[in-house]
Amino acid sequence: MDDSTVSPARRRFFLTILLGGVGAALAGLTAWPFWTYLSPSKGAGAGEKVKVPREKVPIGQAHFFTFQGHPAVVIQPSAGKYIALTAVCTHLGCIVKWEPDKEDFLCPCHGGRYSPDGQVTGGPPPKPLESYPVALQGDQVVIG
Amino acid sequence: MKRLKPLLWAGIGLFLLLLAVPGPVLAAETSCLQCHGAQSGRFGEPVPLWRQSIHAANGISCHNCHGGDPTVMSMDAMSPERGFRGVPAKTDIPDFCGRCHIGVKEDYLQSAHGKALGKGGPQCVTCHSNHKVVAASPALINPQSCTRCHDYGRAADIKAAVTSTDQMIGGISDDLAGLHHLGIDVKEMQGKLFSLRNEFHRLFHEVDAEKVRQQTADFQQRLGQIRQQVTVIQERLDQRKLVGGGVIALLVLAGVLAALIRKNYHEEERAGE
Amino acid sequence: MSWHKRVIDWVELRLGIRDILAQNLTEYLLPRNTNVWYTLGAVLLTLFALQFLTGILLLVHYVPDSNEAFKSVNRIMNEIPFGWLIRYLHVVGSNMIVIALLLHMFSVLFMKSYYRPREVTWLSGFGLFNLGLALCLTGYLLPWSQLSFWATTVATDAAGAVPVVGDQLVRFLRGGPMVSDTTLGRFFALHVMGLPLLFGLLVGLHLFCVRRAGISSPPFGSDYRLWEPKDRFRHQHHPGGIPFFPNYATKDTAVICFFLAALLTVVIFAPTIFIPPDALEPANPFTTPAHIKPEWYFLWAYQTLKIFPSKFLGLAAQGALMTFLALLPFIDRGPERRPAQRPIFVTCYVLGVLILIGLSIWGHYS
């Protein structure tokens, strides 16, 4: 055997390292599309306003709807005044209920309570409910 | 028990094979086509002509223009009570076709052609024929057709005015069809193009070359917007091909490396023998 | 001590895997002269895994309802990032699998690897072939395009040729008189759960048979020995052979890489080879498109039916052929495996392949 050439074992080691490198590259190139495919879309319609017909929100009642991918609520505590808030409780994420007789929000999971404008009035929630800008357009309430 | 197993598999194989076999299927035809299709002479002529038309390709059949009831298998299908309109008189043809092609009828009636209706002027069928109606194109403006009534000069003029825009429309239409075949959602763009094309074709019917030239720039600009959208998609597709080509090359490289390692072991075995 | 040695030691103490790894990798000796056709099994395993994976991903966004199916596929192709890639991999992958299945089967036939003691391997493999075709057939309906709808109508119509119970059979397959939502429901259940489950079980049996009985030596070259009947079970050893790992593992890897490269080439540069224009229009139960044809791998069956004057005869002929193939190990009993010494078989084989190709081409143009 010619001693100046690389031994088969060395050559094989080099080839294996190369194969490993190419394999890693291919694995990455495969994982990327699969990961992106499964990832949630970046808030489809983030910034999109939602219109709710006025008759759906009687005085003293609440109307629940979807806003930017999560549940939200709009109430009319007094004639002509509309408030829109997120309906996701800031404690652990349950959806709050509106109590027309008590005129407040009650979270059924751990008894958190919020005033009509979203301030915490009782229970474990650490933060108030986030509010959204509301405007009136004819017979529609525009949130966002 | 061993004898049953191959029979079981054979049975399953047979059953699955039976699934693979097709049989003839036909969609039902209207009574108009069934009767007139079987006739020879002038009552049978329209059927093979219509089959080659763009109306047939889009599901527009006899009763859509002539009225009547396509589900009744007797002469009663053609009674006036069932809405049958029969063959229109020459001067009624623009109204007949204009029931659907409203915009074109409007422009035609304002044109020199429309004003000559009933006085030797052309109506829809003169250029478009009645049953073998094909997709409109500048090819309909040609010496044989137009010189039946006047010299070709002004016809050639307006043909020149519409040709470049029409070619743009044709080019975008072909590209969109290609993208559609690749599974790209082109419905909105095809809708916009279709609407632009109709607007442009209806404009032609005023047979006013100057008006066509004035409006060409606007049309071409709007077509340009669609063309821009198509280009963006095509660039995205080219990018996919580039990256894809790279991954394919990497795979081939991996295969070659594995084969070389295998060969290496092979040589080692042989050296060791 | 290196970290991976430490991990293997930990598992070894609890499960004794070093033995198993050695038996199946480094000490698993195979004949020296196997050819490249022996790698097709590994190729098929990889392609099926890919099909399974892309299928699950498609399942995340696909909706099996006749009003939503086509739109959901459109969304996957246009709105979901890389949805087009997953979908095309699945479509082209299924065709590539049929090609690999045929190559695998033809090489087994040619080398008479179905010969005893490998009859169960052959039968499970033949079952896998039919299940693969059934998966193709049921999957075809799911996009709910014109092609899906009418190709399924035509395919299920065939069952009507069975005497006595034909019509009931067609209604049973379709879940009603015509292809409809109920058909979509049952084809979806079959394609996504029923058939893959059966398939997985059969693959397990097939692999077990291959490993348990041992790999057959290729019937070529000076190492060929006539098989002698045994009085009890004996795993076929190859004492002078070479280990599966790393020798055949690298060979399998190389061929798998080339197949994947071919798959990806079609997906990137010619994805619509297997997608005719009818596949891009939503299903319309009232309009049959002209020239509906089944996929290329069913064209031979389609053309056979057109040749035979009676539908039943045509079906019976195909059924007979498939039965014959399934039972081949019990029909072809001679121990001679070298193709050069089996002139009748090789003649029938070559004729059969040519007729298959001829019928398919004819079916394409008819």
Segment C66-102, tens digit of pLDDT: 999 999 999 999 999 999 999 999 999 999 999 999 9
Question: Given pLDDT bands bounded at 50, 70 and 90, which one contains residue B12?
Answer: low
Measure Cα distances from B238 to A33, B187, C270 in Å: 17, 21, 13
User: Helix (H, G, I), strand (E, B), or coil: what is residue B59?
Assistant: coil
Measure Cα distances from A47 to A67, A89, A143 in Å: 9, 21, 10
Identify the pLDDT of residue B27.
39
Identify the pLDDT of residue C108.
94
To 10 degrees, what angle do helices C83-110 and C69-78 make?
100
Identify the pLDDT of residue C122.
95
Segment A82-124, tens digit of pLDDT: 999 999 888 878 888 899 998 999 888 778 899 999 999 988 8
The answer, yes or no, to whether residue B212 has pLDDT greater than 60, is yes
Please give, rounded to a whole number of angstroms, the shortest distance from the CA of C57 to a CA of chain A.
Answer: 8
**Distant-in-sequence, close-in-space partners of B123: CB < 8 Å, separation ≥ 6:** B90, B91, B93, B94, B117
Identify the pLDDT of residue B139.
87
Q: Does C78 touch chain A (CB under 8 A)?
A: no
Identify the pLDDT of residue C247.
87
Rounded to two decimals, the pTM is 0.79
Segment B236-270, tens digit of pLDDT: 999 999 999 999 999 999 999 999 999 988 887 77
DSSP secondary structure letter of residue A122: E
Please give, rounded to a whole number of angstroms, the shortest distance from the CA of A52 to a CA of chain B.
Answer: 28
C-alpha of B201 from chain center: 16
Q: Which chain B residues contact residue C42 at CB under 8 A? A: none
Within 10 angstroms of residue C12's Cβ, the number of other Cβ atoms is: 15
Q: Does C249 touch chain A (CB under 8 A)?
A: no
Touching partners of B (3+ C-beta pairs < 8 Å):
A, C
Calculate the average pLDDT of chain A.
86
Calculate the average pLDDT of chain B.
84
The answer, yes or no, to whether residue B28 has pLDDT greater than 70, is no
Among A47-51, B18-22, B121-125, C194-198, the range of highest mean pLDDT: C194-198
Instruction: For residue C95, give both structure tokens.
Output: 């065709």
**Domain boundaries of chain A, sorted by first residue:** 7-39, 50-143
The answer, yes or no, to whether residue B17 has pLDDT greater than 60, is no
Q: Which residue has 């293997």 as its token pair? A: C8
Question: Given pLDDT bands bounded at 50, 70 and 90, which one contains residue B21?
Answer: very low
Question: Given pLDDT bands bounded at 50, 70 and 90, which one contains residue B24?
Answer: very low
CB B162, CB B200: distance < 8 Å: yes
The answer to whether the CB atoms of C301 and B255 lie below 8 A apart is: no
Identify which of C312, C358, C323, C361 has the alpha carbon closest to the alpha carbon of residue C160. C312
Please give, rounded to a whole number of angstroms, the shortest distance from the CA of B227 to a CA of chain A.
Answer: 26
State how far the Cα of A112 lies from the Cα of A92, in Å rounded to an integer.
Answer: 10
Identify the pLDDT of residue A3.
52
Q: Does B232 touch chain A (CB under 8 A)?
A: no
CB B251, CB A26: distance < 8 Å: yes
Question: Given pLDDT bands bounded at 50, 70 and 90, which one contains residue B25?
Answer: very low
Measure Cα distances from B68 to A105, B28, B47, C295 in Å: 64, 17, 16, 41
Furthest C-alpha separation in chain A: 99
The answer, yes or no, to whether residue A68 has pLDDT greater than 90, is no
Shortest CA distance from A36: residue in chain C: C81
Question: Given pLDDT bands bounded at 50, 70 and 90, which one contains residue B23?
Answer: very low
Instruction: For residue B161, give both structure tokens.
Output: 């005015």
Measure Cα distances from C229 to B5, B6, C171, C197, C213 in Å: 22, 21, 49, 36, 14
CB C131, CB C199: distance < 8 Å: yes
Identify which of C312, C58, C188, A57 has the alpha carbon closest to the alpha carbon of residue B23. C312
Q: With pLDDT > 70 as the criterion, what percentage of chain B qualifies?
A: 89
Identify which of C273, C276, C57, C325 has the alpha carbon closest to the alpha carbon of residue C145. C276
Instruction: For residue C331, give both structure tokens.
Output: 């029909």
Full 3-state SS string of C49-90: HHHHHHHHHHHHHCCCCCCCHHHHHHHHHHCCCCHHHHHHHH
Provide DSSP, C287-354.
Answer: -PPTT----GGGHHHHHHHHHSSSHHHHHHHHHHHHHHHHTHHHH---S---GGG-HHHHHHHHHHHH
Identify the pLDDT of residue C206.
97
**Distant-in-sequence, close-in-space partners of B212: CB < 8 Å, separation ≥ 6:** B158, B161, B162, B203, B204
Identify the pLDDT of residue A10.
86
DSSP secondary structure letter of residue B135: -
Identify the pLDDT of residue B18.
44
Cα Rg of chain C, angstroms: 23
Handedness of CA B66, B70, B74, B80 (dihedral sign): negative
Segment B69-96, tens digit of pLDDT: 888 888 888 888 888 888 888 889 998 8
Instruction: For residue C105, give both structure tokens.
Output: 């089967």
Residue-range domains of chain C with CATH? 31-227+236-299 (1.20.810.10)
The answer to whether the CB atoms of A8 and B264 lie below 8 A apart is: yes
User: Helix (H, G, I), strand (E, B), or coil: what is residue B229?
Assistant: helix
CB C272, CB B259: distance < 8 Å: no
Q: Does B242 touch chain A (CB under 8 A)?
A: no
Identify the pLDDT of residue B22.
37
Contacts across the A-B interface (CB distance below 8 Å): 30
Q: Please give the CATH topology (third level) of the domain spanning A50-143.
A: Rieske Iron-sulfur Protein (2.102.10)
Residue stretches of chain C with pLDDT short of 50: none
Q: Does B244 touch chain C (CB under 8 A)?
A: yes
Identify which of C241, C254, C252, C257 has the alpha carbon closest to the alpha carbon of residue C26. C241
DSSP secondary structure letter of residue C221: S
State how far the Cα of B158 lies from the Cα of A94, in Å rounded to an integer.
Answer: 70
Please give, rounded to a whole number of angstroms, the shortest distance from the CA of B22 to a CA of chain C.
Answer: 4
Question: Given pLDDT bands bounded at 50, 70 and 90, which one contains residue A4?
Answer: low
- ipTM computed for the complex: 0.88
The answer, yes or no, to whether residue A43 has pLDDT greater than 60, is no
Of residues C103 and B116, more confidence is placed in: C103
User: Helix (H, G, I), strand (E, B), or coil: what is residue A12?
Assistant: helix
Query: Which of C35-66 are b and which e, b meaning 16 or more Cβ less than 10 Å from the residue's Cβ?
Result: eebbbbbbbbebbbebbebbbebbeebbebeb
